[in-house]
Structure 1
């Protein structure tokens, strides 16, 4: 897959309203779900107990934490875009976040991103990215959101 290369504010500007790219698929397995549960202290059985989730849950097995899916954004984003000439990049915020579809154990997800807006705040570039994390074989995305990043170019 070819990453989009961005070297400046002007490079970003040409993509307003356009798709930036799509990541590769990433499989969410039970080990990753369990490690996330350990890191966040969220051991709800729907995530960590495959037997109970299969017999009592609504999804036929365990599901990933919504925040696990969200936490994969940097990994997936880095497959789509490479921003050069930076002093720093800051995750500034998330707007309109919706968890629309659960990610079941062993589902494969990928991210699509487009540039909704960009502004120059006296040298700090504020970008608003529209993202969807899709589940292979599902029509409804796992999540959708507007991510706000601040880029400080050199």
Structure 2
């Protein structure tokens, strides 16, 4: 985990990596709980037996499940100590590039794309998140997260 003292410490790092998360297991229970929470019970995600005969040889995680793990990935990738609060402002350019087979591990790499000052010492950050699936040739997901942080 990378550590930064204050929000302003990130400003000179535009264009650079600011952290990589720990690995996170995507098991069938997590997929099923996500299906229950969202109402998306498509067989490719939740019917293990049927998915074995599907295009991926087994169940895969929902793309939106992968995206929803953004806060968990942030949590282990970097920390900004003098931050009182942070708000999700939005996402740009979200792409689900490769499937995530159930039973695989994911981690995210973060690159700072933009840093914009806000009132009271805050900043709006645009951060590219590239989600890697252990052993896969292509990333599972690439998205640009826009976050507002305040000291």
In the superposition, the TM-score normalised over structure 1's length comes to 0.93
Shift of 1:16: 1.2
| SS of the residue 1:89 aligns to | strand
Q: CA deviation at 1:15?
A: 1.5
Partner of 2:36: 38
Which segments of structure 1 move beyond 4 Å, counting only runs of 4 or more?
none
Counterpart for residue 132 of structure 2: 134
The partner residue of 1:21 within 13, 19, 22 is: 19
Which 5+ residue runs of structure 1 have no aligned equivalent?
none
Q: CA deviation at 1:122?
A: 2.4
Q: How does 1:44-59 map to 2 (within 5 A)?
A: 44-55=42-53, 57-59=54-56
Q: How many residues were matched structurally?
A: 150
Name the counterpart of 2:73. 76
Note the residue ranges of structure 2 that are not aligned, 5 or more in a row.
none
Q: Measure, in 1, the Cα distance between the counterparts of 2:8 and 2:26.
A: 36
Q: Is the 8 A contact 2:7 2:83 kept in 1?
A: no
TM-fit CA distance, 1:62? 0.4
* Partner in structure 2 of residue 150 of structure 1: 148
The residue number in structure 2 matching 1:89 is: 86
Q: Distance in 1 between matches of 2:84 and 2:44?
A: 41
- Aligned equivalent of 1:105, options 102, 106, 109: 102
RMSD: 1.1
Give, in whole Å, the separation in 2 of the partners of 1:29 and 1:9: 35
